[in-house]
Amino acid sequence: MANPLALWIAMMDHSELVALLLDCTTWTGAGPGLMDAAFKGALEAKKPVGGFKIARESGEWTSSNFHPYLPPETYLTCRFFSARKHGLVDAAVRNNPSDMTAVVALPGGIGTLDEVFEILALIQLERIGSKFPVPFLLMNYDSFYSKLLDFLDDSGKWGTVARGEVEALWKVCGGNSEASDYLAEFYGLPQTKMNNNKISVEGSGFME
Q: For 51-103, what is each residue's pLDDT tens digit? A: 998 876 555 555 456 788 899 999 998 888 899 999 999 999 999 999 999 99
Among candidates 120, 102, 129, which has minimal Cα distance to 185? 102
In a domain, residue 202? The reply is no
The reply to whether 11 falls in a domain is: yes
**Would residue 208 count as lying in a domain?**
no
Rg (CA), the chain: 17
- Please report whether residue 204 resides in a domain: no
Q: Which of 197, 207, 199, 170 lies closest to 23 in space, CA to CA?
A: 197
Of the chain, the percentage scoring pLDDT greater than 90 comes to 75
The verdict on residue 121 lying in a domain is yes
- Residues of the chain whose pLDDT is less than 50? 63, 192, 194, 196-208
Q: Is residue 207 part of a domain?
A: no
**Structure confidence at residue 190 (pLDDT):** 77
Structural domain boundaries enclosing 77:
4-56+65-196
132 domain-assigned: yes
**Three-state DSSP string of 160-174:** CCCCCCHHHCCEEEC
Domain count, the chain: 1
CATH of the domain at 44: 3.40.50.450
